[in-house]
Chains A and B, each alone.
Chain A
Amino acid sequence: DVKVTQSSRYLVKRTGEKVFLECVQDMDHENMFWYRQDPGLGLRLIYFSYDVKMKEKGDIPEGYSVSREKKERFSLILESASTNQTSMYLCASSLESGSANQPQHFGDGTRLSIL
């Protein structure tokens, strides 16, 4: 079974802090994704990566950056946390297989509160 592990289940930070959310997958997947999920707004893609050191902006990249130094690890960084970044953050990974994208496997999520 694919295992996607997010470093924290719950996290509380203060406005202006630099926040790191970590995600590790154990199935040698090429693609990794970061989403946030908010009531009424659904699941929105922040960034994704299809290879080490590669990244692509999703629909809402503003205020975030990412790092993928190793294939199994994809980090989401909030450069200067703000209260509107309080949300559930979900990491996912998938295999790369040409034009037909493979299903994504999700971590348990990190519920981040910015005070």
Chain B
Amino acid sequence: QKEVEQNSGPLSVPEGAIASLNCTYSDRGSQSFFWYRQYSGKSPELIMFIYSNGDKEDGRFTAQLNKASQYVSLLIRDSQPSDSATYLCAVWMGKSTFGDGTTLTVKP
């Protein structure tokens, strides 16, 4: 079992829809959770981070953390073609571990 697993994708949504990206992790002691966006040929850039159970909203993005179920998700509302990218979930569990990423395509 991978330490950090993301829904395999690719994920395709129409413009204006909600995109839902999911991530599960194996270490119950994990404290910090991050979502990065990576455009093709570019390096990852931070979208959201979350430390506490519940929801955290930033503009069109909402991160949701449920430590009891060991999952963290990212919702993108009103998806735009510019949101088309690979989204990486990262978990700090004494070291930094990334999921393999979910590729999102938003179709105009």
Point out residues on A near B: beta carbons under 8 Å: 33, 35, 40-45, 48, 56, 58-59, 90, 99-109
CA distance A109 to B38 in the complex (A): 12
Return chain A residues, CB-CB under 8 Å to B88: 42-43
Binds A, one of B19-27, B42-50, B55-63, B71-79: B42-50
Residue B66 interfacial (CB < 8 Å) = no
Return chain B residues, CB-CB under 8 Å to A43: 44, 88, 98, 101
Query: Can you list 16 A-B contacts (CB < 8 A)?
Result: A41-B100, A42-B88, A43-B88, A45-B96, A45-B97, A45-B98, A58-B96, A59-B95, A59-B97, A100-B32, A100-B92, A101-B31, A103-B49, A104-B34, A104-B90, A109-B43
| Interface members, chain B 1-56 (any A CB < 8 Å) | 31-32, 34, 42-46, 49, 51
Would you give the shortest CB distance from A108 to chain B, in whole angstroms?
Answer: 6
Return chain A residues, CB-CB under 8 Å to B100: 40-42
Is there an interface contact between B45 and A101, defined as CB atoms closer than 8 Å?
no
> Please, how many residues of chain B have a CB less than 8 angstroms from a CB on the other chain?
20
Contact flags (1/0) for B69-93 with A, using CB distance below 8 Å? 0000000000000000000101010
Majority secondary structure of chain B interface residues (helix, strand, loop or mixed): strand
CA distance A102 to B34 in the complex (A): 9
A90's nearest neighbour on chain B, judged by CB, is B43
Is there an interface contact between B46 and A99, defined as CB atoms closer than 8 Å?
no
Closest 8 CB pairs of A and B: A101-B92, A42-B100, A106-B43, A43-B98, A101-B32, A103-B46, A103-B49, A109-B43
Would you give the shortest CB distance from B54 to chain A, in whole angstroms?
Answer: 15
CA distance A94 to B95 in the complex (A): 12
Which listed residue (A33, A56, A102, A108) contacts B43, Cβ 8 A?
A108
Would you give the shortest CB distance from B85 to chain A, in whole angstroms?
Answer: 14
Since A35-B98, A42-B98, A43-B98 are in contact, a sample of 13 more A-B pairs with Cβ atoms closer than 8 Å, ordered by chain A residue number, is A43-B101, A45-B96, A45-B98, A58-B95, A99-B31, A100-B31, A101-B32, A101-B96, A103-B49, A104-B90, A105-B46, A108-B42, A109-B43
